[in-house]
Chain A
C-alpha cells in the first residue's frame, strides 16, 4: 500500500487538474453563449438572400446559372469540412471525420473522386495524412471568424465547380441541436437545390435590375453560398464549445470521484499506521 505522503501528493495533483478542467468548463460555457448569439445574428442575411434568389429564379426562368444546373454525370465531388482548431472537445471532430470517411469510402467505391477543403486545424491535420486530394484549407479562425477569412477557400471550390472539375459540393459540419447534442450535418451546396419558387411569389411582379438580372444573380449566389458556409462555421464553433463544456464537466466529475476514492485509501492507510503503532507500543509494554 502506498504511503500516506504519496497519496497526499496524488490527491493534490488531481485537485489542480480538476481546477483546470472546471475553469475550462466555465470558459466554454460563456463562449458557447456568444457563439449562439452569433449564430442567431447570421440568420437574417441568409434568409433574405435566399428569398431574393428564389424570386430571381422564378422571374427569370430562361436564365439558369451554372450553380443551379444539375449535372448529368458526377465524377468528382467536393467537400468543405468544418472542424475545430483545438482539441479537448470530446468526440466532436472524430465523430464527424468518421462520417466523412464513410462517405468518402462509399463515393470512391462508386468510382467517384473526392476533393477536400478543410476548415480548422483538426480537419487539416487529419485529411492531410490521408490519400485524398486536399485542395484548400483555412485554419486559426478563432472564436469570432470573419466572412472574408473564408472567401478564399470557398472560391477555390466554386471555381472548381464552375470549370467542371467537381460536379457537386457538400458542406459538412456539426449542427448545434442543444447543449447536450451535436449532430453531423451534410448539406449540398452545389448545385443549389433549395431554389423552389415559393407560393407568394407567384403573383407576378419583377424588380428593376441595375445593371442587369444576371450580374446581380451571380453576385447573390456567391454571397449565398458564402453565408451558408459561414453559418456552418459559426454553428460548428457553438457545437465545439458545448462539446468541450460537457467533456470538461465529465472530467471534473471524474476527478472528484478519483479524489474521493483516494481520500478513502489515504484514511485507511493512516488508520492502519496508527493501529500498528499502538499494537507495537502495547507489545513493547507487555514485554517489560
Chain B
C-alpha cells in the first residue's frame, strides 16, 4: 500500500475533511504545492482555489477561499478561511460596523447615566428575585 498522510481541513465554523491521502495538492501563495508523506515542515498562505486529495487513484476536491497550510511529516492541516479575504473587503466591513454603531447612537432618545442604568438593572434583578421567591413559596 502506498504511503499516506493524514489530512485535516478545518474552518472556524466546521471541520470540512479529516482522513488519509497519498498526495495533497493546494494552491499556495507562491505557487501550487504538492505534499507527499514525510514532507519537511512547511507553513504557507493559501490562495483561493482548489485543494485536491489523491488516494487510490481517486481524487477528492475541495474549494477553499484562502487560508493557511501547515505541513508536518505525518500530518497536513489546512486552516481554511470561511470567506474570501482581502484588505479592502475587510476595510469595508469595518466601516460598515462603525456606521452601524453611529446609527444606533443617533437613534437613542435619552442618554442615561451609569447610576441610572444600574438602578434600572437592580430593579429588574429585584423583580426577577421576587418572582423567583413567589414561585418557590407557591410550590410549597
Q: Which residues of A are at the interface with B, using a C-beta cutoff of 8 A? A: 38, 41-42, 44-46, 48-49, 52, 56, 90-91, 94-95, 97-98, 101, 104-105, 108, 117-118, 124-126, 128-131, 134-139, 146-148, 151-153, 155-156, 159, 205-211, 213, 215-216, 219-220, 223, 226-227, 230, 250, 254, 257
Instruction: Say yes or no: A129 contacts B101, CB within 8 Å.
Output: no
Question: How near does chain A come to B101, taking the closest CB pair, in angstroms?
Answer: 4
Instruction: Say yes or no: A91 contacts B128, CB within 8 Å.
Output: yes
Question: Is B3 interfacial (CB 8 A cutoff)?
Answer: no
CA distance A46 to B125 in the complex (A): 36
Question: How near does chain A come to B12, taking the closest CB pair, in angstroms?
Answer: 4
Instruction: Say yes or no: A216 contacts B110, CB within 8 Å.
Output: no
CA distance A126 to B117 in the complex (A): 9
Instruction: Say yes or no: A42 contacts B29, CB within 8 Å.
Output: no
Cβ contacts under 8 Å, B110 to chain A: 129
Instruction: Say yes or no: A44 contacts B10, CB within 8 Å.
Output: yes
Instruction: Say yes or no: B41 contacts A208, CB within 8 Å.
Output: yes
Cβ contacts under 8 Å, B15 to chain A: 41, 44-45
Instruction: Say yes or no: A137 contacts B82, CB within 8 Å.
Output: no
Question: How near does chain A come to B133, taking the closest CB pair, in angstroms?
Answer: 13
Chain B interface, >50% SS class = mixed
Task: Give the residue name and chain of the A residue nearest to B109 (CB).
Answer: A129
Q: A210's contact among B13, B29, B121, B138, by CB below 8 Å, is which?
A: B29
Instruction: Say yes or no: A131 contacts B29, CB within 8 Å.
Output: no
Task: Give the residue name and chain of the B residue nearest to A253 (CB).
Answer: B135
Question: How near does chain B come to A134, taking the closest CB pair, in angstroms?
Answer: 5
Question: How near does chain B come to A173, taking the closest CB pair, in angstroms?
Answer: 16
The residues in B between 69 and 93 inclusive whose CB is less than 8 angstroms from any CB of A are 70-71, 77, 79, 81-83, 90-93
Q: Known contacts A104-B114, A209-B43; is A227 also within 8 Å of B12 by CB?
A: yes
Given contacts A91-B125, A151-B93, 16 further A-B contacts (CB under 8 A): A41-B14, A52-B70, A94-B125, A104-B114, A108-B114, A117-B101, A128-B105, A137-B101, A155-B91, A159-B94, A208-B40, A210-B45, A211-B29, A220-B79, A226-B12, A230-B13
Instruction: Say yes or no: B97 contacts A130, CB within 8 Å.
Output: no
Q: Known contacts A45-B11, A94-B125, A98-B121; is A136 also within 8 Å of B100 by CB?
A: yes
CA distance A91 to B100 in the complex (A): 26
Cβ contacts under 8 Å, A211 to chain B: 29-30, 44-45
Cβ contacts under 8 Å, A137 to chain B: 97, 100-101, 104
Task: Give the residue name and chain of the A residue nearest to B129 (CB).
Answer: A91
Instruction: Say yes or no: B101 contacts A136, CB within 8 Å.
Output: yes
